[in-house]
Structure formats: structure tokens, C-alpha cells
Amino acid sequence: MDYETDVVVIGAGNAAMCAALAAQEQGARVIVLEKSPEQQKGGNTTYTHGSIRFAYEGVEDIRAIIPELDEEELKTVDFGSYSEEQYYEDMCRMTNYKTDPELASLLTSESFETMKWLTSHQIKFIPIYGRQAFKVDGIFKFWGGMILESVGGGHGLVEALHKRASDLGVQILYRTMAINLLQDDDGVQGVIVKEQGKTKVIRAKSVIIASGGFHANIEMRTKYLGPKWDTVHTRGSRYNTGEGIQMALDIGALSAGNWSMAHAVTGDRYLPDFQEGFQRLSYPFGVIVNTDGRRFLDEGADFRNYTYAKYGRRILEQKDGCAWQVFDGKVAHLLREEYKGRQVTKVKANTLEELADKMEGIDKAKFLQEISEYNKAINDAVSFNPNEKDGRGTTGLAVDKSNWANTIDTAPFEAYAVTCGITFTFGGLKINEQAEVQNTMYEKINGLYAAGEAAGGLFYENYPGGAGLMAGAVFGKIAGEQAGKFTSRNVVEQL
Ligand SMILES: Cc1cc2nc3c(=O)[nH]c(=O)nc-3n(C[C@H](O)[C@H](O)[C@H](O)COP(=O)(O)OP(=O)(O)OC[C@H]3O[C@@H](n4cnc5c(N)ncnc54)[C@H](O)[C@@H]3O)c2cc1C
């Protein structure tokens, strides 16, 4: 035996570090395993903006999370409210009512308490003014149920969680990959790892799998998501290759969730894998056309954070798996930060004809006809308002646009080449409300817990933005608490 501890956490992203902190709070000795070198720690969590979705009743709840909110600042902000019921309804609506009701219920009901718990561990949050609110008549009005992000984005969140864990005595082993679970008839007893190339044994009373999904494993992607998914752009961490899920399945764990679908967004057609800044998410204010020049989805079906996770898949279905997002001069100021900068594949022109000439592979005649028909179909009796589902849509088109429809007729015109990028996978391990991993006899596997992307059942087909970090925090915390308690129970039983 090379190490001996109470709780081993596999992974060092958000779910894992929340689990580590919660287990440590129970008095357990905790070892965290991170497959990557220290500089690349934190998995997909590092790549996020840190946007996190939780239920809140109003500004007092926000103050409980950000006590330093300035009175002057508050005069210019309308946070609105987002109840547990709305959150739960969003989980149901987004997943076509397939989300696991018990897990979704816990996610939504524990979200606010978990935010407060995170702040008690010195994790800091700020309002997401830039991306989740537009200033209209001097007021930032938030939309889409998501209002806060971690200070410093995903990097900041990972650094803060790691600092807190180290301060509290959690041991973190870098370049250490879990490869197998140790188990006997009493349950899981530890992990076999490769630590900097050497095989070692870590004996533990319980193991928490928080090692993410399999979005960076091309073979698993093709096997479970299907043809073409091997070719899509890979976002986020290169280390989420599914071993955590696989090692649990190998000892009889039950799978759960939507294995044939994933969170996949629309982003730059030519950026290399794993590069930050891939996504292009201002499409509600323009149109998306395929190389036949045709629109194929409702860009304004809902707020961006309710559609972006499923629209990548729709791009992949198009010829060559690519498309163009098109905007005109009227909405250029609404485009997100990611549309600026050098690593952006875009063309610009003063007329739509010239623009079409520059859009590689596009059927020019059909594109011009499509835009002309789209322009004529807009109900301009309704005013445009980016902060609300304004109902300014089209009628009579093969694919109507429901909100934020503006004519595309004002120079300069811009078109952005986009493709599909996979963010994370939805399929994982079956857990119960204590985050205990279930086996195929529908019983818990003693001493084995899972949280974050490694656990399946919450997300199907689509996903409300910000729910990934919240799910990791809620179920990571539960897993850590339960694993810590299981450890102390075991100790008492052995005395
Ligand atoms: C670009 C991008 C932006 C996103 N933006 C947001 C956002 O703003 N808000 C939001 O809620 N969600 C967002 N998401 C989704 C979010 O990142 C995930 O839902 C969440 O971070 C998953 O947390 P996790 O702890 O389960 O996994 P991760 O954070 O991915 O952590 C997995 C960890 O396991 C490690 N690991 C993997 N295999 C092993 C092994 N065998 N042994 C040891 N360690 C292993 C990895 O190195 C990593 O440390 C985004 C994702 C991406 C890629």
C-alpha cells in the first residue's frame, strides 16, 4: 500500500473540490487525484466563465452571497427573482421532462444554500453584467435566471477552491490518474493510480468519482454519441476521457442519463481543439444559414442560455457540419466579447451581395433570397428588446424566428463561420439523493459516490446555462458529506 486515507476524490474540478471540502468538514482525511499537471488543474471548470445558476428570491438573497454589493450600484440593477419552482421547471422544460425528478429537485432546492456554503469557503461571486444583462433606459435588467459568476471566471473558481482545500489540509496529487477501483464484498476500498508514471495503491474508506465525463475521448464519443461526433471541435479539458465512469461500470455500477447526447455549442469553424474563445453565442440577434443559404433553426426560440447547448448539434447535422451566423450594423453593438479579436473567422462587407461572395461555400442566390424573405416576414409592429423575449418574430417562413427578429439590411454586414463544439457529455453513473453510486441490482455500492459530469440523469438533450457548476457544487457537497459520514461510521463500527 502506498497511501492510506479516509476519502479519495478522483478529479480536481468544481465537483471534486466541493466534495473534498465537504468531506474534510466531516473530519475525514482527504486525498484529491488530478490527472493533469498542476498548471492545467481543474478540468472543464477552469474553462468556464464561472456562471452559476441558483434560485433566489430577490436582492437580499444576492446580498447574502455578495455582502459588499454597493447601494449605488443596486440602483442601476434589476436582478428580478428566480424561484426554486422556476429552476425546476427550467430543468424539466430543457430536458423534455426527462430529468431525474429527485436529482433535479435536490439541485434546485439546495442551490441557494450551496451558494452560501461556497461563500463560507471564501469563494467569491460578482454579477454577470456583460453577458446576462443589457442596459436599457439606464438599468441593467437580468434575464434567463443566471445572474452571478465566480470572481476570475473558471480559473478564479478553481484557484479559490484549491487554495481553500490546501489551507484546510486536503492533499492533492497531480499527474496522478485513477485507473481502477479496489473493491471486495464490503464495497469499494480505494483506488489504483498511476502517479507520475508509477502504479500505486491508495487504500480509502470511500471514493468519490468527480472526474468529469468523456467529451475528450473520441472513441467513446463515437461509440455513444454516434457518427460525426469524432470530428467535432473539442472544448474544455483534454483530460475528461471517461475513465472514472468506466471504472465504476467495470465493477457493476448502473449507468444513467442521456448517453447519446451532449452539451454542444456553435463556435468558430477553424479554431483548434481545447482553445478558449471558441463559442459564438450572439445568434439570437442575427440569423444562422447553412451552405445552401437556408435558415434551419429558430435563433430566437428562447434566451441564449436556454438554446446554446443544443444548437451545436443542429450545426453538425448540416452539410460539412458548418454554417454562417449573419448580423447587420444595427446589432453589431450587441455582439459578445468573443466576436472580437484576431482568432475569429469572419467576413465583412458593405452589401449583402459582397458579403455572400466572401462566405466560403455558400449558395449566393439562395442566401440572398433567404434574407429577402426573412426581412419581409418580420413583425415590426413589435419593438425590439434584448432583455425580454420580445415576441418580435417572423411569420410564414419554413423556419420562423420567435423573438429578436430585425431586418438584415444595414451596412456593415458581418458573417461568422461556425461549427459544432462539444462541451461535456450527459451520460454517467446512476446516483441516489445521497450521491451514492447504484449497481445494476439497484442497490448502493458501499463507499462509492459520484458527482458532477460523472453522474448522469440531470441533463437530457439540452441544459440551462449555469446548471453544470451548480450540479457539481450541490452533488459534490452531498457526496463529500456522505463519504465523510460513511468514513466516521466505519471507524465507529470497527472500534
Ligand atoms: C468552455 C466551457 C465553458 C463552460 N461554461 C460553464 C459555465 O459558465 N457555467 C456552468 O455551469 N458550466 C459551464 N460549463 C460546464 C462545466 O464546466 C461543467 O459542467 C463542470 O465544470 C463540470 O465539473 P466537474 O467537476 O464535474 O468536471 P471537471 O471540472 O471537468 O473536472 C474533472 C476533473 O477530473 C480530472 N480527471 C479526469 N479523469 C481523471 C482520472 N482518471 N484520474 C484523476 N483525475 C481525472 C480532470 O483532470 C479534472 O480535474 C462549461 C464548460 C466548458 C468546457
Domain range for 33 is 3-260+426-494
Cα-to-centroid distance, 81 and ligand 1 (Å): 28
458 near 443, Cβ under 8 Å?
Answer: no
Q: Which residue, by CA, sits nearest to atom 19 of ligand 1?
A: 468
268 and 251 inside one domain: no
Torsion angle defined by CA atoms of residues 261, 263, 267 and 269, in that order, rounded to the nearest 10 degrees: -30
Last residue of a domain, one of 368, 395, 421: 421
225 and 145 inside one domain: yes
**Which three cell numbers, joined as nine digits, stand for 55?**
434560485
253 near 427, Cβ under 8 Å?
Answer: no
pLDDT digits (tens, 9 = 90+) for 57-109: 999 999 999 999 888 888 888 899 999 999 999 999 999 999 999 999 999 99
Is the CB–ligand 1 distance for residue 42 below 6 Å? yes
Q: Does the pLDDT of residue 492 top 80, yes or no?
A: no
Phi, psi of 485 (to 5 degrees): -65, -40
**Which three cell numbers, joined as nine digits, stand for 484?**
465523510
Amino acid 137: pLDDT? 79
Is the CB–ligand 1 distance for residue 300 below 6 Å? no
Last residue of a domain, one of 421, 455, 470: 421
Own/partner pairs for 222-225, CB < 8 Å, 24+ apart? Answer: 224/259, 224/260, 224/425, 224/427, 225/260, 225/261, 225/262, 225/422, 225/425
What mean pLDDT is predicted for residues 232-257? 98
46 and 132 inside one domain: yes
Continuous H helices in 95-152? 101-120, 129-132
What is d(CA 456, CA 449) in angstroms, rounded to the nearest whole number?
A: 12
256 and 268 inside one domain: no
413 and 442 inside one domain: no
What mean pLDDT is predicted for residues 186-191? 97
Cα-to-centroid distance, 45 and ligand 1 (Å): 4
CA-CA-CA-CA torsion sign (291, 294, 299, 305): negative
What is d(CA 438, CA 431) in angstroms, rounded to the nearest whole number?
A: 6
Amino acid 495: pLDDT? 39
236 and 305 inside one domain: no
Q: Does the pLDDT of residue 373 top 80, yes or no?
A: yes
Phi, psi of 18 (to 5 degrees): -65, -40
Amino acid 145: pLDDT? 84
Question: Residue 46 CA: which ligand 1 atom is closest?
Answer: 29
62 and 39 inside one domain: yes
pLDDT digits (tens, 9 = 90+) for 387-427: 899 999 999 999 999 999 999 999 999 999 999 999 999 99
CA atoms within 13 A on the CB side of 3: 25
**Which three cell numbers, joined as nine digits, stand for 440?**
445494476
% of the chain beyond a pLDDT of 70: 98
What mean pLDDT is predicted for residues 189-195? 97
53 and 106 inside one domain: yes
359 and 464 inside one domain: no
Any idea which residue has 447553412 for its cell? 290
**Which three cell numbers, joined as nine digits, stand for 419?**
461549427
Amino acid 387: pLDDT? 86
254 and 108 inside one domain: yes
DSSP secondary structure letters along 98-113: -S-HHHHHHHHHHHHH
Instruction: Tell me the CATH number at 92.
Output: 3.50.50.60
Q: Which residues contact 456 (CB under 8 A, 6 or more apart)?
A: 255, 256, 257, 258, 259, 426, 427, 428, 429, 430
69 and 206 inside one domain: yes
Mean pLDDT of the chain: 95
Q: Which parts of 185-336 are beta strand (E)?
A: 187-195, 198-209, 233-234, 255-256, 262-268, 287-289, 322-327
76 and 140 inside one domain: yes
Domain count, the chain: 2
Last residue of a domain, one of 421, 438, 465: 421
Burial class (CB in 10 A: 0-12, 13-18, 19+), 201: middle
Question: Residue 14 CA: which ligand 1 atom is closest?
Answer: 25
